């Protein structure tokens, strides 16, 4: 690498802006070329230290910052699942729906229990409506097509 090619790269080399390959070539050239190494030292000496303003934070600002951080820490983690994405202002709507659902389930369960109780009473009660006909209760039909003519009353 020639000196004239190295000179424009010196600032970028010190700022870490060169590609790794360029940086290696500049480093090797500086190790072997005294004038360029002196120019690099002169550039480093002339470059001022980076100015970093010291923050001036008052006690009031620190308190506000501390409170803001506390708020952030206290806030619960957000749940993005639709089931958990309940707006706090609509929570009573959800409570009302849940109560209505419970009422429906309770009503159905109550009806089932009542029907089961009635069925059990019916099963336990003695049979009252069964009419058992004995043989003597039957008599032949007054008209039988096989015994008489085709018309009744003949």
Catalog residues that contact Zn ion under the rule CB under 5 A. Answer: 3, 33, 36
**How near is the Cβ of 30 to Zn ion at its closest, in Å?**
8
SS3 16: coil
Least distance (Å) from Zn ion to the CB of residue 26?
10
**Pick 4 or 142: Cβ nearer Zn ion:** 4
For Zn ion, the closer of residues 23 and 33 by Cβ is 33
Q: Which is nearer to Zn ion, 2 or 139 (CB)?
A: 2
d(CA 63, CA 66): 5
The DSSP secondary-structure symbol of 8 reads: G
Smallest separation (angstroms) from Zn ion to the CB of 29: 6
Q: State in angstroms the smallest separation of the CB of 65 from Zn ion.
A: 51
Residue among 30 and 98 whose Cβ is closer to Zn ion: 30
Q: For Zn ion, which is the closer residue by CB, 3 or 102?
A: 3
State the nearest-atom distance from the C-beta of 47 to Zn ion, in Å: 19
DSSP of 37-95: HHHHHHHHHHSPPP--PPP---HHHHHHHHHHHHHHHHSPPP--STTT---GGGHHHHH
Q: How many CB atoms lie under 10 A from the CB of residue 26?
A: 21
Q: Are 78 and 49 in contact (CB under 8 A)?
A: no
Question: Of 26, 53, 52, 51, whose CA–CA distance to 40 is shortest?
Answer: 26
């Amino acid at each position: 690498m020639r000196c004239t090619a190295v000179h424009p790269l010196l600032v970028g080399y010190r700022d870490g802006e060169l590609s790794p390959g360029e940086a290696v070539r500049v480093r090797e050239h500086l190790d072997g070329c005294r004038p360029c190494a002196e120019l690099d030292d002169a550039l480093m000496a002339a470059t001022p230290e980076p100015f970093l303003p010291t923050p001036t934070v008052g006690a009031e600002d620190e308190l506000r910052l501390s409170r803001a951080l506390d708020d952030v820490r206290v806030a619960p983690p957000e749940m993005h699942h639709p089931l958990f994405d309940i707006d706090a202002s609509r929570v009573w709507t959800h409570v009302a729906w849940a109560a209505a659902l419970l009422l429906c389930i309770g009503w159905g369960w109550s009806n089932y229990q009542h029907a089961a109780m009635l069925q059990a009473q019916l099963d336990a009660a003695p049979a009252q409506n069964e009419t058992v006909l004995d043989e003597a209760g039957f008599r032949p039909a007054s008209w039988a097509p096989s015994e008489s003519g085709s018309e009744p009353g003949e």
